[in-house]
Amino acid sequence: MFRGRWLLLVALVVVLALVSGCVGRDSPLSFLNVLRIGGATATPTLPPPPAIVTATLPPPAVAATPTLTLPAPGAGGQADAVVNATSDVNLREGPGTNYGIVGTVGPGEALSVLGRSESASWFRVQTASGVLAWIYGELITLNISAADLPVVLAPPPPTGGSQPPATQAPGGGAAGGPLEFSWTIVGVPTIDETNAYHLISISARGGSGAYTYYRDGQQLSSNQFVLAWTRCAGVVATTIRVDSSDGQSVSQPIGFNAFCPTPMWCTDCPLWSP
């Protein structure tokens, strides 16, 4: 019995060897592969490594650089208008001195002209820095035709009145042209024990002919004021400003040494010495 089983096993091995030789060693029916079935551990097949994706970032945003709005040139490459006054000129919210002041422009400054009032006495302008405002026509030299400019509607006038009323001063100069003024000392200074007093008179000319006078920022009731100081106290100074109803404004600081009384023993000395 045992011998018969042994012969059967040997015959089975011979058959497998013959089959393996016919089908090749790599075939699943080969002798070696049959012996490995059930006992060997298959080597796991690993998935391929994930692909590395490189993200491409967008370029950083660049802030836009603001551009300066320059006045548009008129005929022949010139500016539309140029300030012809000899001092700073007021720019206003509307075509009139009852409108508020929004800035100033200096002598010779170029302007772009956008329009005019119906009477063409005021012009809507833009400065080189982009300020939009109105300016009185007598204060600029136009390089373009006023008749070709569109009429710009004025904004509603202010209800409270932003400017003090102008006054026609005695001795004022002729109207027209750039605003100017001068000042003089009226009479002889008066003195008490500690103080000296000068009466200062202002004479304006040009502009509209109607002027408002200021001393150190305070409006005067006329073109004269009293300048008082402590005698023999060094330099005395104050600032005079004159506004014309056409929008012009000029100012000037004045100053001089405070006068001292002449010594009583000096018979040939002037009445006052600086």
Per the structure, the complete domain to which residue 195 belongs is given by 180-262
DSSP 37-63: TTTSPPPP-PPPPPPPPPP-PPPPP-P
Clarify whether residues 185 and 144 are in a common domain: no
Tell me whether residue 196 is in a domain: yes
The rounded Cα 252 to chain-centroid distance in angstroms is 28
Q: Is 185 left (phi over 0), alpha (psi -120 to 50) or beta?
A: beta
Q: Which residue from 251, 268, 269, 250 is spatially nearest to 260, judged by alpha carbons?
A: 269
Single out the residue in 148, 167, 201 at which a domain terminates.
Answer: 148
Q: Is 152 left (phi over 0), alpha (psi -120 to 50) or beta?
A: beta
Helix (H) or strand (E) holding 67: none
pLDDT of residue 16: 61
Clarify whether residues 190 and 119 are in a common domain: no
The rounded Cα 14 to chain-centroid distance in angstroms is 105
Q: Which residue from 138, 129, 127 is spatially nearest to 95, judged by alpha carbons?
A: 138
pLDDT of residue 246: 85
The residues near 213 (Cβ < 8 Å, ≥ 6 apart) are 167, 169, 202, 204, 219, 220, 222, 223, 225, 240, 241, 242
Would you say 210 and 216 are in contact if contact means Cβ atoms under 8 Å apart?
no
pLDDT of residue 68: 46
pLDDT of residue 272: 43
Domains contained in the chain, number: 2
Tell me whether residue 16 is in a domain: no
Single out the residue in 148, 170, 201 at which a domain terminates.
Answer: 148
pLDDT of residue 262: 58
Domain CATH for 124: 2.30.30.40
pLDDT of residue 111: 94
Single out the residue in 97, 125, 148 at which a domain terminates.
Answer: 148
pLDDT of residue 20: 54
Please give the Cα distance from 95 to 93 (Å, whole number).
7
Largest interatomic CA distance in the chain: 174
Per-residue pLDDT of the chain (274 residues; tens, 9 = 90+): 556 676 777 777 666 666 555 545 555 555 455 455 444 445 556 667 666 656 566 666 655 544 444 455 554 567 899 998 888 888 988 888 888 888 889 899 999 999 999 888 899 999 998 899 999 888 899 999 988 999 988 888 776 444 444 444 444 555 677 888 888 887 777 777 777 777 888 888 888 888 899 989 888 888 888 887 777 777 778 899 999 888 889 998 887 776 676 554 444 444 444 3
Tell me whether residue 12 is in a domain: no
Tell me whether residue 25 is in a domain: no
